[in-house]
């Protein structure tokens, strides 16, 4: 598992875009996650070496921020908005419906690797609450029925 | 004669509502008829409740269409563009038809949003853009700081610190280099003012930063933007490139001595990074944890250098103030606070969206005047201002003017601009729990009062929502709250108890109903409600099919029953019942 998707050369190429100083750490982690979908351990080790900082620092920083993941993600990332407007308009129900439809809880990925379910705070479409975002596309004015259809459409897109 | 053109709202809200389908239909219909009218993608016009929106501008004036589908786009082309008569069905604004959603607003920060093409600097310049910068370079940095002081502009990021004074501090600091930071982290989980400004008018923010850098003597700037705002980031990148090409950014700006560069840093999903010292730690590459102040950023900020940090909306006011003068700016606002404030109006209000009003406007004028009241004409219950740091105000406070002092006195805060309206179906204990759950999770853990205190408060609120609270718990909550407010290191902890304290203050009966009677009056807290099926049931079986825990049984065409031991009170049955036979007790 450790070395899956991980190719030292391609990572070095990415690293070369950043000056080897501490303030590059977060941008590097972001670029690495964009590339691998998550942060594999060997990647973090290589980053530490490149920046001449302890691996524990890389780990400490990456675990501080909600954006970083340490497990591979599914093909479609479903983000359910739990911002205030969505909360008062039933985000919990939407979340619940998705959970029962795809069979995993927030923060998890389905066994077939098709969906990862996440929670986010306000994606800025409050007037269309409740809202979810799938792979960067927002879907608004949802209810249980509509959200099932949205999820189904991604399933059928396979 | 102005050329005919079509603007289409292409901010996140418009896209989510289906702007791209509408645009496609517009283009293909125009192609079919061989018309090549210009279509421009613009930012958020603020009437998010009407998205997708298209505005057609011709020699007769501006025509705004809303709530569009692809088929409406076809009509706009055939009836209006080709036929010359507006397509009345979806027409919201025209020269003959005003929309009071807008006539009750005053646009300074949002003046360009939804009007100009945010990816074209020429559009910005044509609307007076970068005039403020020229003026600033002309009058010199001392006068710039004076002008900002005179404008009575106060920080829009939440705390409301006078911007001119802040600039003065950074200006007075002696150092070989200084920084300017634009705080675009927008952490309040129910607010999107800054995102709309960045998406709709990025140059206004850039120009504000350049002027600020000139005034305080900084040569480098950072924009710290939430990673969740990819469109805003892209438009800022385009904006920076264009400004550099035009000589508004870079070395010797417009031939002056002033040089300035801007770098964009993406946040990584931590609410506390909106706090200025945490934000700077994050830019430096560390864990985003706050530190005690003093020293203030103006003395010792980013990389140890004097730093001036302002919010997006604060900066977006600057070009206008320089261009039009502080006197004009203070035509609206109050004695102690000039200008306007943008609010993200949402929740149970009929017309939600971005609204900009003079500081001092009563809440009622915003919620009922602009927002047109409560959805379904239900009863207003509370308005939440300031997100996790703010509070909920009840109906008695609807006459309160929105200004920093009055709102703080009422227990809420002006905040960054989130304004969520709630009705009788919202449970205030649940709302308090929601915000505390948010702050508790986002606490960085550095100081004990915030880390442990919020956790203890949350546990108590959880007991209330389960019907297991006691009256003593309320006293404990209040004690915890006062200690957390007094002893937390940063604003996150210092304000975290506010949503609980205001709901306790204004909605105590509701807390007592949960505690004394095990009842949730708004019928939200699941452990305190039961679902039953009444005799109205026609036995259609829809609820049985919908129930995710198989708690419903019954023969076709006979009354169904809910097994209370299995039922999780999710309410799905009630939502699908065609004859409203599901009752909540
Ligand atoms: C927990 C916390 C979160 C904050 N989040 C933001 C934010 O998202 N955006 C912002 O502009 N200011 C935020 N602030 C306020 C900043 O610390 C700072 O006061 C502000 O950026 C100063 O700019 P202004 O004077 O223009 O308002 C936050 C403060 C705290 C304590
Ligand atoms: S609260 Fe969900 S989009 Fe704003």
Cβ neighbors of A135 (< 8 A, separation 6 or more) are A76, A77
Q: Which residue, judged by its Cα, is nearest atom 9 of ligand 1?
A: B186
Assess if residue A71 is contained within a domain: no
Q: Are residues A100 and A151 in the same domain?
A: yes
Q: Are residues A80 and A60 in the same domain?
A: no
Assess if residue B108 is contained within a domain: no
Domain final position from B302, B329, B356? B329
Q: How far apart are CA B250 and CA B259, in angstroms?
A: 6
Q: Are residues B126 and B275 in the same domain?
A: yes
Report, in angstroms and rounded to the nearest whole number, the Rg of chain B calculated over CA atoms: 26
Domain final position from B293, B310, B329? B329
The number of folded domains in chain B is: 5
Q: Which residue, judged by its Cα, is nearest atom 2 of ligand 1?
A: B275
What does DSSP say about strands B531-533 and B582-584: parallel, antiparallel, or unpaired?
antiparallel
Q: Is residue B534 reached through a cis peptide bond, with omega within 30 degrees of 0 on the bond before it?
A: no
Taking an 8 Å cut-off on Cβ atoms, the answer to whether A131 and B418 are in contact is no
Assess if residue B460 is contained within a domain: yes
Quick check: B291 and B304 in contact, CB under 8 A? no
Which residues constitute the domain of residue A27? Answer: 8-64
Quick check: B197 and B316 in contact, CB under 8 A? yes
Q: Are residues B389 and B502 in the same domain?
A: no
Identify the CATH number of the domain in which residue A106 sits: 3.40.30.10
Token pair of A74, please?
């599914």
Q: Are residues B127 and B61 in the same domain?
A: no
Q: Are residues A103 and A123 in the same domain?
A: yes
Q: Are residues A52 and A97 in the same domain?
A: no
Token pair of B445, please?
């853990």
Identify the CATH number of the domain in which residue A15 sits: 1.10.10.1590
Q: How far apart are CA B215 and CA B113, in angstroms?
A: 26
**Digit-coded pLDDT (tens) for B392-431:** 999 999 999 999 999 999 999 998 899 999 999 999 999 9
Q: Are residues A141 and A112 in the same domain?
A: yes
Q: Are residues A44 and A89 in the same domain?
A: no
Q: Are residues A149 and A87 in the same domain?
A: yes
Ligand nearest the Cα of residue B225 is: 1
Quick check: B6 and B56 in contact, CB under 8 A? yes
pLDDT surpasses 50 at A1? no
Q: Quick one: how far is CA B77 from the chain centroid?
A: 34
Identify the CATH number of the domain in which residue B497 sits: 1.20.1440.230
pLDDT surpasses 50 at B494? yes
Question: What ligand 1 atom has the least distance to the C-alpha of B186?
Answer: 8
Assess if residue B116 is contained within a domain: no
Which of B109, B159, B270 gets mutated to test ligand 1 (max ligand atoms within 8 A of its CB)? Answer: B159
Helix (H) or strand (E) holding B141: helix B141-150
Best of B11, B353, B420, B574 to substitute, by most chain A Cβ atoms within 10 angstroms, is: B420
pLDDT surpasses 90 at B388? yes
In chain A, % of residues over pLDDT 70: 96
Identify the CATH number of the domain in which residue B48 sits: 3.40.30.10
Q: Are residues B320 and B179 in the same domain?
A: yes
Domain final position from B423, B452, B480? B423
Q: Are residues B181 and B310 in the same domain?
A: yes
State whether residue B188 sits within 8 Å of chain A by CB. yes
Taking an 8 Å cut-off on Cβ atoms, the answer to whether B268 and A128 are in contact is no
Cβ neighbors of B70 (< 8 A, separation 6 or more) are B21, B22, B24, B25
Assess if residue B109 is contained within a domain: no
Ligand nearest the Cα of residue B148 is: 1
Q: How far apart are CA B53 and CA A4, in angstroms?
A: 46
Which residues constitute the domain of residue B345? Answer: 340-423
Report, in angstroms and rounded to the nearest whole number, the Rg of chain A calculated over CA atoms: 18
Q: Are residues A91 and A124 in the same domain?
A: yes
The pLDDT, as a whole number, for residue B230 is: 87
**Digit-coded pLDDT (tens) for B95-147:** 999 999 999 999 999 999 999 999 999 999 999 999 999 999 999 999 999 99
**Digit-coded pLDDT (tens) for A53-108:** 999 999 999 999 999 999 999 999 999 999 999 999 999 999 999 999 999 999 99
Question: What ligand 2 atom has the least distance to the C-alpha of A87?
Answer: 1
* H helix runs in chain A, sequence order: 8-15, 25-36, 41-51, 55-64, 84-88, 91-102, 144-156
Cα→Cα distances B317→B144, B321, B343, Å: 13, 6, 15
Q: Are residues B310 and B354 in the same domain?
A: no
| Of the candidates B347, B320, B354, B19, the residue with the CA atom closest to the CA atom of residue B186 | B354
* H helix runs in B307-389, sequence order: 312-324, 326-329, 363-364
Assess if residue B99 is contained within a domain: no
Q: Are residues A35 and A93 in the same domain?
A: no
Token pair of B309, please?
């940090």
Prediction pTM value: 0.94
Q: Are residues A146 and A103 in the same domain?
A: yes
Assess if residue A3 is contained within a domain: no
Q: How far apart are CA A126 and CA B220, in angstroms?
A: 34
Cα dihedral: B263, B227, B239, B222 (round 10): -20
pLDDT surpasses 70 at B1? no
State whether residue A52 sits within 8 Å of chain B by CB. no
Assess if residue B71 is contained within a domain: yes
Assess if residue B70 is contained within a domain: yes
Assess if residue B98 is contained within a domain: no
């Amino acid at each position: 598992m450790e070395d899956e998707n991980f190719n030292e050369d391609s990572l070095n190429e990415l690293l070369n875009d950043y000056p080897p100083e501490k303030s590059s750490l977060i941008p590097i982690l972001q670029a690495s996650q964009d590339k691998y979908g998550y942060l594999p351990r060997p990647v973090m080790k290589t980053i530490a070496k490149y920046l001449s900082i302890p691996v524990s620092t890389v780990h400490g920083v990456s675990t501080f921020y909600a954006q970083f993941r340490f497990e591979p993600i599914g093909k479609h990332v479903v983000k359910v908005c739990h911002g205030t407007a969505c909360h008062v308009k039933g985000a919990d129900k939407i979340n619940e419906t998705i959970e029962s439809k795809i069979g995993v809880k927030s923060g998890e990925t389905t066994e077939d690797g098709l969906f990862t379910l996440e929670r986010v705070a306000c994606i800025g479409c409050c007037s269309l609450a409740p809202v979810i975002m799938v792979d960067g596309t927002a879907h608004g004015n949802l209810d249980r029925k509509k959200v099932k259809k949205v999820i189904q459409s991604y399933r059928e897109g396979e | 004669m102005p050329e005919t053109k079509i603007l289409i709202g292409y901010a996140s809200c418009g896209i989510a509502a289906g702007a791209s389908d509408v645009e496609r239909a517009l283009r293909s219909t125009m192609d079919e008829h061989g018309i090549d009218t210009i279509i421009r993608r613009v930012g958020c016009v603020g009437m998010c409740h009407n998205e997708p929106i298209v505005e057609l501008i011709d020699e007769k004036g501006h025509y705004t269409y809303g709530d569009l589908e692809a088929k409406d786009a076809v009509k706009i082309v055939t009836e209006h563009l080709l036929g010359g008569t507006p397509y009345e069905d979806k027409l919201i604004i025209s020269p003959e038809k005003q929309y009071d959603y807008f006539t009750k607003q005053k646009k300074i920060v949002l003046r360009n949003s939804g009007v100009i093409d945010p990816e074209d600097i020429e559009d910005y310049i044509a609307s007076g853009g970068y005039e403020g910068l020229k003026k600033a370079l002309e009058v010199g940095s001392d006068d710039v700081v004076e002008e900002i002081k005179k404008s009575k502009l106060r920080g829009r990021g939440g705390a409301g610190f006078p911007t001119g004074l802040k600039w003065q501090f950074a200006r007075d600091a002696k150092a070989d280099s200084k920084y300017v930071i634009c705080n675009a982290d927008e952490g309040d989980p129910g607010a999107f003012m800054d995102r709309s400004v960045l998406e709709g008018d990025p140059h206004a923010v850039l120009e504000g930063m350049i002027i600020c850098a000139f005034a305080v003597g900084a040569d480098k700037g950072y924009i710290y933007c939430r990673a969740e705002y990819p469109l805003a980031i892209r438009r800022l990148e385009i904006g920076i490139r264009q400004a550099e090409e035009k000589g508004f950014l870079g070395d010797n700006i417009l031939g002056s001595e002033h040089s300035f560069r801007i770098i964009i840093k993406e946040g990584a999903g931590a609410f506390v990074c909106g706090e200025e010292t945490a934000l700077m730690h994050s830019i430096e590459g560390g864990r985003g944890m706050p530190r005690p102040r003093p020293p203030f950023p103006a003395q010792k900020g980013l990389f140890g250098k004097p730093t001036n940090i302002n919010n997006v909306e604060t900066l977006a006011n600057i070009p206008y103030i320089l261009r039009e003068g502080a006197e004009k700016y203070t035509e609206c606002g109050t004695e102690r606070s000039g200008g306007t404030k943008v609010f993200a109006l949402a929740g149970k209000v009929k017309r939600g969206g971005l609204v900009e009003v003079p500081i001092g406007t009563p809440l009622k004028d915003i919620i009922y005047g602009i927002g047109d009241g409560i959805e379904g004409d239900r009863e207003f219950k509370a308005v939440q201002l300031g997100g996790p740091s703010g509070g909920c105000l009840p109906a008695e406070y609807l006459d309160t003017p929105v200004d920093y002092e009055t709102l703080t006195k009422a227990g809420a805060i002006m905040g960054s601009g989130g304004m969520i309206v709630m009705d009788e179906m919202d449970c205030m204990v649940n709302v308090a729990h929601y915000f505390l759950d948010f702050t508790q999770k986002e606490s960085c853990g550095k100081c004990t009062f915030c880390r442990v205190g919020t956790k203890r408060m949350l546990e108590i609120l959880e007991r209330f929502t389960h019907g297991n609270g006691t009256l003593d718990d309320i006293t404990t909550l209040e004690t915890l709250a006062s200690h957390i407010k007094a002893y937390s290191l940063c604003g996150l902890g210092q304000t975290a108890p506010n949503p609980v304290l205001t709901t306790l203050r204004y909605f105590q009966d509701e807390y007592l109903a949960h505690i004394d009677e095990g009842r949730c009056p708004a019928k939200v807290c699941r452990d305190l409600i039961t679902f039953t099926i009444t005799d109205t049931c026609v036995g259609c079986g829809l609820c049985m099919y919908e129930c995710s825990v198989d708690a419903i049984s019954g023969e076709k065409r006979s009354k169904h029953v809910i097994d209370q031991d299995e039922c999780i009170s999710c309410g799905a049955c009630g939502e699908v019942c065609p004859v409203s036979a599901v009752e909540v007790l």
